[in-house]
Amino acid sequence: MARERSEEDQIEQPEQLTDEHTPEPEPVYTAEIEEPSADEQHDAEEALHAEADSAEALHAQIVGLHEQLVIEKDMALRAQAEAQNARRRAQQDVERAHKFATEKLLQDLLPVVDNLERALATIDAGDEANKAIVEGIELTRKSFVDTLTKHSVEVVDPAGEPFDPELHQAMTQVPNGDVEPNTVLDVFQKGYRLNGRLVRPAMVVVSKAP
C-alpha cells in the first residue's frame, strides 16, 4: 500500500491557472458613421429625380416612336394598295385598248355593209339577168360579215324580239294587235357590238297596242 501511494504521489498534478496567465480580451473598436450633410441629401434627391425624369422621357420617346411606326406602316400599306390599283387600272386600260382598238375602223366600215344589204334589197332576185349580180353582192356581204365576226364583232338584228333600249333605237311605233306591245316589227338598220360593247344601235320599228 505504501508503495502505491508513493507512485500516486509521483503523478504530477496540473498546475492551477492564476490570474497572471488569463489572456486579456482585445479591445473592440466601433466605426463612427457620419450622417450625410443637407447638401449631399439634396444632391442625392436631385439625382433620383433626374433618373426618374430620364426614364419617363425615354418611355415617352418609345411610345412616340411606336406610334410613328404604326403611322408609317399604314402609309406604306396605303401606298402599296394604290400602286396595285394603279397597275390594275393600267392593265385594264391596255386590255380595253386592245379589245376596242378597231372600234373607229369598224364604224367607218359598217356603212359599206349597209350599202351591200341595201343593194340586195333593191335588186330583183327573181330576174335571171340579175342572178350573177345578186350572188356576187351576197358573197361579198357574207365575206365582209364573216371577217367582222372573226374580229369579235356581233350583228344586232332584233326582228321579232322584244325592244331593248340599250341595244335598239326606236324610229317609230306602229299599232299592231298580232304581237305583244314593244316588239320589234322591222329593222331599218342593223346594229353591231364589238367585244360586247355596243358600237351602233339597231334602228327599228316597234309595235304598240292598237
CATH of the domain at 194: 2.30.22.10
502505491: which residue's cell?
4
Q: What are the grid coordinates assigned to 181, written together?
A: 306591245
In a domain, 20, yes or no: no
Q: What is the pLDDT of residue 29?
A: 52
pLDDT tens digits, 85-139: 988 888 887 877 777 777 888 888 899 999 999 998 888 878 888 889 989 999 9
Q: What is the pLDDT of residue 24?
A: 61
Q: What is the pLDDT of residue 21?
A: 52
Q: What are the grid coordinates assigned to 116, written together?
A: 351591200
For residue 73, what are the domain limits?
57-99
Q: Average of pLDDT values for 166-183? A: 91
Number of other CB atoms surrounding residue 70 within 10 Å = 10
Q: What is the pTM of this model?
A: 0.56
* Average pLDDT along the chain: 81
Sign of CA dihedral 92, 98, 104, 108: negative
In a domain, 203, yes or no: yes
What confidence category does residue 36 fall into, taking pLDDT thresholds of 50, 70 and 90? low
**DSSP type of residue 157:** -
In a domain, 80, yes or no: yes
Q: Which of 99, 120, 155 is the last residue of a domain?
A: 99
The lowest-confidence range among 21-30, 55-64, 108-117, 151-160 is 21-30
Q: Please determine, for residue 10, whether its predicted confidence score (pLDDT) is greater than 60.
A: no
